[in-house]
Structure formats: structure tokens, C-alpha cells
Amino acid sequence: MPPRTDPPRSRGLVLGRIADAPVVLTPSWAIAAVVLTIVFAPTVRFYAPGQTGVIYGVSFAFVVLLFGSVFLHEVSHALVARARGQHVTELAITVWGGHTAFTGSLRRPRDAFWVAVVGPLTNLVLAGGFWFLFELRTGTVLVWLLCYAAAVSNAFVGLFNLIPGLPLDGGQMLAAAVWAATGSQDRGTVVAGYVGRVVAVGSVLAVIAVPLAQGGSVEPFLVIWAVFIGMFLWSGASGAIRSGRARARLAHLDVSTFVHPAATVPADGTVADTAAAGRGAGAWAVVIVDGTGRPVGVVDPANAAQVPADRLTTTSVWAVAHRLPLEALLRSTSAGPDLVAGVVAAAPGTSVVPVVDETGTVVGVVLVREVLAAVRGTSA
């Protein structure tokens, strides 16, 4: 198996680590903080007229409570995902609230369900806690307002995330349910992705249709905000559909479908050796092997063709070759995720990946472009 490589981390200020993953405050968070502070300020002004400093201070405090709640939502995802065997790569606070990134796959539908459901449940528990504090009526009216707003916002975040469409948590839950019912995780992802597209469109239409149905007027700011959220949801849903389809194709991939003949030459060989080996085997590539037979390099045919005939026997094979990354190696039994993971890990350093049998002997090569094209569903 190739070594695990984490995806690129979001840019921003690293606040600390949870579940062995960085907590990143992205620059885009400031946009949401400013907008939400301004939006909530009129509500605070109603209870504290004429106190500008207090108004914006309390309004910003609400934003901090809101994003703190979203952060706890993401922490719950991270902790349960780690407990279920996934590797958490980051927790990011963004303009949309936040996200938690993982690597590794979940083996059972119920694992996927629990990783998804704990986020909204966290918000609903917080909503209950803030509502309890609101009912106590302790402190000033502004404290009551903060508790009330935090309760309502957490209830909204929790319930909205339970809507069964990707990329929302409810979509992950729906995907897990379809996975459990059909035995196909990829089908679950695709189904939940299409439902997510419906949710994206419905979210925008609801902001327009509901006030009109009630005899009111449409609020332009809310429409603009809903369009941005709808675009975000549509993008996430579409990405899930593509991912599910790609994984479905991936499951049927086998290295034997892609392997091409290859010749081998020793690491101390010459360019003349590569020419003779290539002709004799009808090879697509000439692989350089070390003393143990392990592939360590691949000859570049274009470079080899430029060597004058009178120097073929004296020019080192390494003069016309490039070294292979350590991870550039596939087994003759490689298939599905293992095949693609091996190719992706090797791709930055080579266009071909050697294939070895159970004894470690090179039996051919795989072209990186052909495997990646098969995953994408396109021709190489």
C-alpha cells in the first residue's frame, strides 16, 4: 500500500489541534462575522436603543456563540470519525460555518451514519441548553436575547443539517441508509447527491415563495444569501454525484486490464542494453531494476533515441532514465482502491508504474493516464 498523504490544508490561522488535526480559522470567516454582526445589530438595537457600542458588542458576541456552536458541531464529527477509524486531517472554520476533512474509508453504513448524525445532534443539544438558560431569565435582557438567539440558531443549524441531501449531514445519513439497503456505498452517495440538488434549488425557491404565499414581500438580502447557500449546496451535491460514480467505476478496475509488456535492465546497464531488451520483449517500457530485482527507474525513449550509435555501449542507462518514486509500484493483484491509490501516489513522479508478481519480478507496466482516464470515465 502507498503511504498515506493528507490533502492540502485550508489556509488560515491554526488555533490548535483536536483529534490530532489542526483547527484552522480561515480568512473567509471574517466575512461571515462582519455580515452577521451587521444583520443581528438591529435586533439588539431594539432592546438597547442609543447604545451603539453595546449594540455591536452584543451582536458580535452572538456571532461568536454561533460559530462556537458550529465549531463544536465539527469537533463531534472529528471525534466520532476518529473513533470509527478515519484519520481527521483538519477542522476549518469558514464563511459557511465550518467543515471537517477526513481520509480513510468507513467500513459499515452505521459508522457513516453516526459520524454524520452527531453534528446536528450537538447543535440540538446546545439549542436545548441555551433555551434552558433563556427560561431562567437571569441577568439583563441582552443576556436573555443572546441565549434566545443562540437557542434558535442552533435549532436551525441542527434541523437544517438533518435535511437528507448532500453535502448536508442529513445527506450523509441518507447515503448510509441507501448503502445499508442496497449494499452499495457508491449508490448511496449518488442518490443523496441528487436529493442534495433538489434541496439546493428548494432552499432558494423557499426564500422567495414563502413570503409571497403569506402576502408579504421578498427580502432581497435573504434572496442573495439563499442563492449563495444554494450554489454551495449544488456544488457539494454535484461533487458527491461525481465522486460516487467515480468510486463505482473504480470498484471494477483491475490491474490486469491496464498492464502492458515491459523489459528490464540492470541498474549498471547501458543504453545498448535497453535497446536490445526493448526489442526482444516488444515492450512498452524498459524498467531499471536493482540487484534485488526491485524497480528503481524507467528509461525515457526520447532521451535514449538521441544517444549516438557509437556511444550506446558506453552510455549509462541512467543518462536516459528517471528514477521512480519509492511508492511507484503495483502488485499483480492490485485492484479497485488499491490500484488507483498506487497510481495516484506515483503520478507526480512518473507516467508509468511497474507491476510486480508475488516474487517481486517485474511483469509489466501500467500507464498512469489510462488508469486516471478510467476513473474519470473518459478515454486516455
- Taking only the tens place, the pLDDT of each residue in 204-254 is 999 999 888 888 888 888 889 899 999 999 999 999 999 999 888 888 899
| Dihedrals phi, psi of 289, to nearest 5 degrees | -120, 150
Q: How confident is the model at residue 1 (pLDDT cuts 50, 70, 90)?
A: very low
| 30 and 100 together in one domain | yes
- Taking only the tens place, the pLDDT of each residue in 47-98 is 888 888 899 999 999 999 999 999 999 999 999 999 999 999 999 999 888 9
- Taking only the tens place, the pLDDT of each residue in 286-315 is 999 999 999 999 999 889 999 999 999 999
Does a structural domain hold residue 109? yes
Does a structural domain hold residue 3? no
Q: What whole-number distance in Å separates Cα of residue 295 and Cα of residue 291? A: 10
Report the CATH number that the domain containing residue 323 is assigned in CATH.
Answer: 3.10.580.10
4 pLDDT above the threshold of 70: no
- Taking only the tens place, the pLDDT of each residue in 163-216 is 999 999 999 999 999 999 999 999 999 999 999 999 999 999 999 998 888 888
Cα–Cα distances in angstroms (integers) from residue 81 to residues 93, 148, 166, 244, 347, in the given order = 18, 31, 18, 20, 29
The dihedral region occupied by 235, where left means phi > 0, alpha psi between -120 and 50, and beta the remainder, is: alpha
Of the candidates 127, 123, 132, 129, which has an alpha carbon nearest to the alpha carbon of residue 151? 127
Determine the structural domain holding residue 113 and report its residue range. Answer: 13-251
Of the candidates 25, 30, 29, 32, which has an alpha carbon nearest to the alpha carbon of residue 11? 25
Q: What whole-number distance in Å separates Cα of residue 313 and Cα of residue 323? A: 21
- The number of distinct structural domains making up the chain is 2
| 272 and 235 together in one domain | no
| 98 and 189 together in one domain | yes
Question: How many CA atoms lie less than 13 Å away from 150 in the CB half-sphere?
Answer: 29
Q: What are the DSSP calls for 110-147, one per residue?
A: HHHHHHHHHHHHHHHHHHHHHHHHHHHT-S-HHHHHHH
Which residue would you say has higher pLDDT here, 154 or 350? 154
Mean confidence (pLDDT) of the chain: 91
Sheet holding 259-260, edge to edge: 259-260, 362-367, 352-356, 330-331
Q: Are 91 and 100 in contact (CB under 8 A)?
A: yes
